[in-house]
Amino acid sequence: MKYIALALLSLATLSVTAQQKKKTVKKTTAVKPLLATKTDSVSYAFGRDIGGTLKNLEITNWNKELIGKAIVSALDGQNSLIEEDQLRMVIQSAVTEAREIKEKENLAKEQAFFTENAKKTTVKTTEEGLQYEVLVEGTGEKPTRENEVTVHYTGTLLDGKKFDSSLDRNEPLKMKLDRVIEGWKIGVPLMSKGAKYRFYVPSKLGYGSQNMGVIPPNSILIFDIELLDFVKDAV
C-alpha cells in the first residue's frame, strides 16, 4: 500500500543524505561463534536459511535426507543426478503444483467462512460479495470512488495476524479510492464521516491469487476502517 512506497522513499532520502555527509569509519565487531566453532555457526546459519526458504514454498512432500545429500554433492562439486537443464523445470513444476493446491485450500476455506459469516445478524453482504459490519455509524455525506479519503485502518488475515495498520504508525492514510483494492472501492463509499466499519473482503475483491508476501494467495482480508474525512474532486 501507500506506506510501503513512502517507506522506500524515506530510505532513499536517508541514503542520499548519508552520502552527502562526511563518511565515518565504523569498527566492525567480530561475531562470536554461537556453536563450537565459527565454521559450525556459519554452516548451521546457511542450513537454517535454506530450510526456511524451502518451508515457505509450502511443498509438503520432502525427502529430507536427499536434500542434505544434494547440498553436500553441490558443495563438493559432484555431478548432479538430474541434468542441470532439467533441475529448473522440476523446481518450477513442484512450486506451481504446491501453489495451486494451496490456492484451492484457501478458496474452500473462504467459501465456508463467508457462508457462515453471512448468518450473523450484524453482517451485511453487498451484491459483489463484500461483507461488513457497522461498528460506529457516521453522519452526513458519503464519498464516491473518485474522492480522496482520509482513514485509519487495521488489516488482518483470517487467523488474526495483522499485516498492516495506520494506527500503529499513528498516521492516517490519505488516498484516492480509485487507487485501492476493489473491496475498499465498494466498502468505503458506504460510510459517512466518523463511521467505523469492519469489512470482510473475499480474495476476488482483494489481491486474488497474487502472493503479497505477508498476504498469501487467495486470502480473506479483514479491515477495520474509520472514515475521518474525504475531499471531493481531489487531483
Rounded CA-CA distance 176/92 in Å is 38
**pLDDT value, residue 25:** 52
Q: What are phi and psi of 137, to 5 degrees?
A: -85, 140
Query: Is 207 noted as a catalytic residue in this protein?
Result: yes
189 φ, ψ (degrees, to nearest 5):
-65, -10
**What is the reported pLDDT for 28?**
57
Kindly list the domain boundaries of the chain, sorted by start residue.
Answer: 117-231
Of the residues 132, 153, 197, 199, which is catalytic? 153
Low-confidence spans in the chain with pLDDT less than 70: 1-33, 234-235
Q: What is the pLDDT of residue 26?
A: 54
Helix (H) or strand (E) holding 47: helix 38-56
Q: Is 153 a catalytic residue?
A: yes
**Dihedral, CA atoms, 18, 21, 23, 26, nearest 10 degrees?**
-60
User: Is 223 considered catalytic here?
Assistant: yes
Asked whether 193 and 219 are in contact (CB, 8 A), the reply is no
What is the CATH T-level fold of the domain 117-231, as seen in this structure? Chitinase A; domain 3 (3.10.50)
CA atoms within 13 A on the CB side of 9: 5
Q: What pLDDT does 30 receive?
A: 61
Q: What is the pLDDT of residue 42?
A: 93
Give the pLDDT of residue 1. Answer: 45
181 is catalytic: yes
Q: What does the pLDDT look like over 70-119, one tens digit per residue?
A: 999 999 999 999 998 999 999 999 999 998 888 888 889 999 999 999 99
